[in-house]
Structure 1
Amino acid sequence: MLIKNQSLHLRDIFRVLKKRRNVLVGFFITVFSVVLLYTFASTPLYEGSTKIMIEKAEGDNLTGRYVSRSTDPEFYGTQFQLIKSRAVARRVVKTLGLDKNPEAFYGKHSDRNSSIGTILPKVKSFFISVGNLFMTREARQNRQEQGQLSDAERIAIEISEEIQVRPVLESRIININFFSPNPELAALIANTTAKAYIEEILEMKLDSTRRRLDWMTQKAEAEAIKLQESEQALQDYMKANNLVTIENRMTVTPERLSEINIQLLRAESRRKELQALYSKVRSVGRNYRSAQTIAAIASDPALQALRAQIVETEKSMMELGNKYGPKHPLMVKTRGDLHVLQRKRNQEIERIVESIKNEYELALSNERSLRQKLENSKTEALVLNEKFIQYGHLKRVIDTNRTLYDALLLKLKEQSITEETQPVNLWLVEKASVPLEPAKPWVALNLQIGILLGALGGIALAFFLEYLDNTIKDPEDVEAVLGVPVIGVVQRKRNADHLENMVVTEPQSALAESFRGIRTAIQLSFPDNPPKKILMTSSVMGEGKTTTAANLALSTSQSNHRVLLIEGDLRRPRFHKIFKISNVKGLSNYLAGDVDAPIMHKGPLPHMAIIPAGPIPPNPAELLISKRMQALLETASHDFDFIICDAPPLLPVADTRILGRLFDGVILVSDAGQTTFDLVERSLKMLQDINARLLGMVINRHDAAKSGYYHQSSYDYYESPKCQTQGNRD
């Protein structure tokens, strides 16, 4: 097993390869044999190779010059697909007349066919038959449709699939290759494919140009109709709304509004001035003296002349009054003249007041007229603006249609001129010559690839199987992954009887030595406080815990220690069969309350005693949890140096978890190559939950021949007859 999060050393690699050497060698032989068979069974194929040059260039309008554009990463990939397309293959078939003479393609094969080559069609037919069983309905329909194709179409499909396109590095040169058993046919198809590709590209370009011309012609006609309709719509709208000079009117209207607005402001100011003057004049009424104090009245020239005459008359009256008296005829005449002048003055004042009133009313009327004129102009401007918006929309439609129409006409003329002068960016550089030697199969390369794939695949498969293998096999893995010490490893013994008492029957065997090693490890690992009561268990059934417990008890008794072996598995007891003792009375009788029953039997060695399980009870766990079991262990610990108990497996039943708290230590037995790390981790978790003391693990049935940690020679030393003879002498 490859341990995660641990560095892989070179010795680990050699260990895995040595361990999985059979897989590695088998995979290598299989791959190499398949490659060898394929190489020598394949029909020799000849390669026809044609070189063409592809340049990406486009015409520059009407100048006739061609300029290279920016690099297009998809350009060459597209060209490669075109070369391998069925359209090109159909041209090849038609050019070579293969549609009329299919035998020219299928019949011209090389006579250099290997006798082994007859195997390949049979193998291919077998795999096709197997594949048909798993094909979907759609796949079967496609297969049937292909079967109904004509010979020409099938040949075209084969050519398109077999054509290979390879670019030459750092150039615009492209290799077109075709493999065939017939050398003449290989060269002929390669050359014809290049020509067919050039013809296909030219036809595609011409066809594209014709379609563009047709489309642009139709589009130009449609745009001409749209332009005519939009112009007619504008003309109708202008007639309906009398918009012949709308643009001039839109220019004059803002100036007119501004002028009316200025006149209105002046009229309003004039009206306010006259209104204030008229209000002041009206407040004076017929008080002519007060009226003369108003500047607008007093400044009147006629009134000023009358006032001057009145002053002169009054001055004459004063002089005449002083000279002649009030009743003098001159005085009377002068006084009459004064009254006349005063009446004229008053009449003049009334005339001025009436004039002020008329001016005020005229200013008010003028202001109202200008305001109405301004409102009418605004309304007219809004209506005109709305009409102009619609007019502008129609005019923009005309401009747009005219621009598009002109552009289409220009492009149409360009395409018409350049239709027959499209740039030819394909050149046939080198024609394929008839090959003299077959290009495939590459014998040396195939064998090298077979060796490389076989070796690397075998190594990868070995490491993959090692990675997937999650079973316990080697003590180093256990200690590295689980952190649990391994106190012993028991070698796998094939075709051996009496494994349970191997320590007695074959004391010089490697298996017996393994159990003595476990005994020694327990004693040396705890020199100050060695465990006296030892519980032997496993994760599941069949991992060898009973065999380990029996041999551990025998080896401990051989070292002159008093040992009591207890059958703690009340569900599947085996000690009475192993040591051939009676099982009529045993541990179950004692735990059930029959204290007078003799349950202890003498073992095969002088210092060893055995307590069998007795009759199988219906509830073993209820008996084991009683205080009698603890009392039995306390009593036996005074008479024996070691007490070894074989318990049921941990995971299936709860018996071991009950017994685990009564013993000084627990030994967990695991079957190498069968028990997984997950099972052991669950078992260790259970022991940890009951606070049981784990002494260590024993790896049973360890195969030293398949492990890289131990060498088979170390175990063969114990198994050799010479060693056994020497051991007997010792």
Structure 2
Amino acid sequence: MNLGQFLRILRARLWLVCAVVVVVMAAAFAVSVVLPQKYSAETALVIDAKSADPIAGGMMPSQLMASHIATQVDIIGSERVALRVVELAGLERMPQFREQWQEATGGTGELRAWIGAVLRSRLEVKPARESNVIRVRYTASQPEFAAMIANTFAKAYMETALELRVEPARQYAQWFDERTQGLREELEAAQKRLSDYQQKHGIVSADGRLDVETARLAELSSQLVQVQGQRAESRSRYSQAGAAESLPEVTQNPLIASLKAELARREAEREQMLGRLGPNHPEVGKLAAVIASLLQRIGAETQRVAASLGSSSRMSAAREAEVAAAVQAQKARVLQLQQHRDQISVLQRDVEGAQKAYDQVAQRLSATSLESQAQQVNVAVLTPATAPMWPSGPRLLVMLALALVVGVVLGVGSALLIELIDRRVRGEDDLAGLPGVPVLGSVPGSRWGDRVSRARVSSRTAGVY
């Protein structure tokens, strides 16, 4: 079938197409008149997700903004929000809803759940493009009811969003509170162990006392080295006691030096007297006695100095032993203080670790407690819903336009279907498709221009009717 044949069929069946279009449009008009009018009320919510959280202080990354908005859309259309709307609006106490529930379910199931499902079926939630605005639209047969339910959905969503934020914070706050009590007990126990250890050993500041004792040990060690040097020197001098005259203590002794000077003077006098008076002179003998006395005194004083060297050596040995014992005792005291300091360091680290854990948990407890008491969410009503003045449906013009399109399609389809059932020759193109049927001629039609008269041509004879 070409375009010419198609147009000739439509021209021949135009009355059928028009009849079908009229019937369909009439039916659409009747349906529009019969169907109850519907009103749609819309409220707009703005989600402030770009501002910093006043409690946690963080900001939502821009990459998560789209998923956050989609999550809020799902929350608004959730069953939990619908049940909250039923509770806030008191719909389960309305007789008309109870009657509809009885008719629809026969009294089976829960009334609140059924009303919530009905509300969700008439709810439309759409996020605005490239913005944080969410539009909540509800459709009902009464404009005031539609506006009330739309605003109630917004309120129920904000309360639910607050609950979803506060409930986990309350659970965490309770857990942190219990954990804080345990950590406080651990901190007090660690502090008590440190205090008991310091009281037991009489330690106020281990580091300061250790520094003092270490300095004292260094001083005693230097004294020990000095005493050991003195003892070695005394021992060396004492070993030379056999040649006492050559000892520095003897040669530098003023008494011995004066005695030796006196002895030298007396010996010089004796030599003079021997040359003048002779060895048997009484004065020479008297001078010899004086010289002998001086020699005896020098020897005695020399022995006394040598003996003092022995006493000094013994005193140096005793002093060395005393200082060495003090050094050993000081070393033991320093080592003990180092052990105390190490143990105190371990106990202090335990206290610091317990304090740090307690501070961290206490900080989290403060934040979660503050968050659990929050009464605000980052959602605000941008435009509340108002009772619409004009119905949103059924739309008569839209339905008539749609009926016109459907009627034309059905009319054309009906014309083609009838034409296929009752095939007729409406032009030379229809005869050209028949095998073995020549076309002898055509008679112009008087009604539709070049319309071809109905003709039948047999395989034996041809004629025009």
Q: TM-score range by the shorter chain?
A: 0.5 to 0.7
State the TM-score, normalizing by the size of structure 1. 0.41
Aligned: 1:253 with 2:246: no
CA shift in 2, pair 1:354/1:316, >3 Å? same
**2:461 paired residue number:** none
CA deviation vs aligned residue, 1:30-79 (integer Å, no higher than 9, x gap):
xxxxxxxxxx9xx9998653211121356657xxxx98835454343443
Aligned: 1:367 with 2:320: yes
Residue pair 1:168, 1:175 contacting (<8 A) in 2 also:
yes
Match of 1:270 among 218, 230, 238: 230
Residue pair 2:270, 2:288 contacting (<8 A) in 1 also:
yes
**1:437 paired residue number:** 392
Aligned partner of 1:225: which letter? Answer: E
TM-superposed CA distance for 1:258, in Å, is 2.5
Tell me the SS of whatever aligns to 1:239. helix
How does 1:597-636 map onto structure 2 within 5 Å?
A: none
Task: Write the distance in 2 (CA, Å) between the matches of 1:395 and 1:321.
Answer: 95
TM-superposed CA distance for 1:255, in Å, is 2.3
Aligned: 1:310 with 2:299: no
Residue pair 1:165, 1:176 contacting (<8 A) in 2 also:
yes
CA shift in 2, pair 1:72/1:256, >3 Å? farther
Match of 1:382 among 335, 348, 357: 335
Aligned partner of 1:276: which letter? Answer: S
Match of 1:85 among 78, 81, 106: 78
TM-superposed CA distance for 1:322, in Å, is 0.9
Larger helix fraction of residues: 2
Aligned: 1:202 with 2:162: yes
Residue pair 1:48, 1:179 contacting (<8 A) in 2 also:
yes
Tell me the SS of whatever aligns to 2:392. coil
**2:45 paired residue number:** 52
Tell me the SS of whatever aligns to 2:246. coil
CA shift in 2, pair 1:278/1:420, >3 Å? same
Aligned partner of 1:355: which letter? Answer: S
How does 1:534-553 map onto structure 2 within 5 Å?
A: none
CA shift in 2, pair 1:242/1:266, >3 Å? same
How does 1:558-577 map onto structure 2 within 5 Å?
A: none
TM-superposed CA distance for 1:330, in Å, is 1.9
Tell me the SS of whatever aligns to 1:327. coil
Task: Write the distance in 1 (CA, Å) between the matches of 2:308 and 2:120.
Answer: 113
How does 1:500-511 map onto structure 2 within 5 Å?
A: none
- The CA RMSD over aligned residues, in Å, is 4.5
**1:578 paired residue number:** none
Residue pair 2:169, 2:371 contacting (<8 A) in 1 also:
no
CA deviation vs aligned residue, 1:197-226 (integer Å, no higher than 9, x gap):
111123344545544554454444444433
Match of 1:191 among 141, 151, 176: 151
Residue pair 2:166, 2:374 contacting (<8 A) in 1 also:
no
Aligned: 1:350 with 2:311: no
TM-superposed CA distance for 1:264, in Å, is 2.1
CA shift in 2, pair 1:163/1:71, >3 Å? farther
Name the count of aligned residue pairs.
Answer: 355
Aligned: 1:428 with 2:381: yes
CA deviation vs aligned residue, 1:305-355 (integer Å, no higher than 9, x gap):
221122112112211111112222222222222222222222222222221
CA shift in 2, pair 1:105/1:45, >3 Å? farther
**1:663 paired residue number:** none
Residue pair 1:102, 1:151 contacting (<8 A) in 2 also:
no
Unaligned runs of 5+ in 2: 1-27, 29-34, 102-107, 403-465
How does 1:632-651 map onto structure 2 within 5 Å?
A: none
CA shift in 2, pair 1:311/1:78, >3 Å? farther
CA shift in 2, pair 1:242/1:222, >3 Å? same
Residue pair 2:162, 2:376 contacting (<8 A) in 1 also:
no
CA shift in 2, pair 1:271/1:420, >3 Å? same
CA shift in 2, pair 1:418/1:191, >3 Å? closer
CA shift in 2, pair 1:382/1:83, >3 Å? farther
Residue pair 1:54, 1:426 contacting (<8 A) in 2 also:
yes
CA shift in 2, pair 1:293/1:167, >3 Å? same
Task: Write the distance in 2 (CA, Å) between the matches of 1:47 and 1:390.
Answer: 78
Aligned: 1:69 with 2:59: yes
> Relative contact order: is structure 1 or structure 2 higher (C-alpha 8 Å, sep ≥ 6)?
2
Residue pair 1:59, 1:423 contacting (<8 A) in 2 also:
no
Match of 2:128 among 168, 172, 178: 168
State the TM-score, normalizing by the size of structure 2. 0.61
CA deviation vs aligned residue, 1:700-729 (integer Å, no higher than 9, x gap):
xxxxxxxxxxxxxxxxxxxxxxxxxxxxxx
CA shift in 2, pair 1:156/1:425, >3 Å? same
Task: Write the distance in 1 (CA, Å) between the matches of 2:257 and 2:299.
Answer: 12
**2:21 paired residue number:** none
Task: Write the distance in 1 (CA, Å) between the matches of 2:394 and 2:347.
Answer: 74
**1:496 paired residue number:** none
TM-superposed CA distance for 1:296, in Å, is 3.1
Tell me the SS of whatever aligns to 2:327. helix
TM-superposed CA distance for 1:366, in Å, is 1.8
Task: Write the distance in 1 (CA, Å) between the matches of 2:236 and 2:336.
Answer: 39
Residue pair 1:167, 1:174 contacting (<8 A) in 2 also:
yes
Task: Write the distance in 1 (CA, Å) between the matches of 2:114 and 2:364.
Answer: 43
Task: Write the distance in 1 (CA, Å) between the matches of 2:123 and 2:218.
Answer: 84
CA deviation vs aligned residue, 1:78-116 (integer Å, no higher than 9, x gap):
4334323332232134345566779849969xxxxxxxx
Task: Write the distance in 2 (CA, Å) between the matches of 1:253 and 1:309.
Answer: 56
CA deviation vs aligned residue, 1:529-578 (integer Å, no higher than 9, x gap):
xxxxxxxxxxxxxxxxxxxxxxxxxxxxxxxxxxxxxxxxxxxxxxxxxx
How does 1:705-720 map onto structure 2 within 5 Å?
A: none
Residue pair 2:194, 2:347 contacting (<8 A) in 1 also:
yes
TM-superposed CA distance for 1:398, in Å, is 4.1
CA shift in 2, pair 1:313/1:177, >3 Å? same
Task: Write the distance in 2 (CA, Å) between the matches of 1:160 and 1:361.
Answer: 112
Tell me the SS of whatever aligns to 1:50. strand
Residue pair 1:55, 1:426 contacting (<8 A) in 2 also:
yes
TM-superposed CA distance for 1:260, in Å, is 1.5
**1:335 paired residue number:** 288
**2:201 paired residue number:** 241
Percent of counterpart pairs with the same letter?
24
Aligned partner of 1:69: which letter? Answer: M
Task: Write the distance in 2 (CA, Å) between the matches of 1:352 and 1:77.
Answer: 111
Larger strand fraction of residues: 1
Tell me the SS of whatever aligns to 2:380. strand
Task: Write the distance in 2 (CA, Å) between the matches of 1:359 and 1:157.
Answer: 114
**1:231 paired residue number:** 191
CA shift in 2, pair 1:47/1:371, >3 Å? farther
How does 1:658-697 map onto structure 2 within 5 Å?
A: none
Residue pair 1:53, 1:426 contacting (<8 A) in 2 also:
yes
Tell me the SS of whatever aligns to 1:271. helix
TM-superposed CA distance for 1:196, in Å, is 0.9
Task: Write the distance in 1 (CA, Å) between the matches of 2:224 and 2:109.
Answer: 95
Unaligned runs of 5+ in 1: 1-39, 109-147, 446-730
CA shift in 2, pair 1:270/1:258, >3 Å? same
